[in-house]
A = this chain, B = another copy of it.
Amino acid sequence: MSSADVKKLARAFSALANENRLKLFLNLLEESRLDLQKGRAHDCFLVKLLGNLSIGASTVSHHVKELEDAGLIETSRDGKNLICTIRPDTMRSLGDLFANVRPR
């Protein structure tokens, strides 16, 4: 694994290391799975995420950008609303990392 890859990985884990940011991400993941069941696309408004945490809007905005810069999510806009979407490619590489460890 290249040094650049390690850097990228560390960045992703760093984004998930903060409790509030992790909660945002887990919300998105759960939403993604619910929508998967219904066969719909998954997305989540910032304002909706905000409701679940006791931190300010500006802080949430920072956190979302951090998740995005780390390659964990993508964002787009629907009018005034920010839409966050999980990046399945990144999920796959993270998942692979933890696979195939010998059970004891």
Question: How many monomers of this protein are in the complex?
Answer: 2
Q: Do A10 and B6 have beta carbons less than 8 Å apart?
A: no
Q: Is the CB of A98 within 8 A of B104?
A: no
What number of A residues sit within 8 Å (CB to CB) of B? 34
Complex interface: chain B residues within 8 A of A78 (CB): none
CB-contact partner of A10 in B19, B29, B94, under 8 A:
B19
Interface residues of A in 20-67 (CB under 8 A from B): 22-23, 26, 29, 32-33, 35-36, 42
Interfacial chain B residues near A76, Cβ < 8 Å = none
Give chain B residues whose Cβ lies under 8 Å from the Cβ of A22.
6, 9-10, 13
Which residue of chain B is the closest to A94 with respect to CB atoms? B98
A16 to B98 Cα, complex, angstroms? 12
Closest 7 CB pairs of A and B: A95-B98, A14-B17, A13-B16, A91-B101, A17-B17, A13-B17, A94-B98
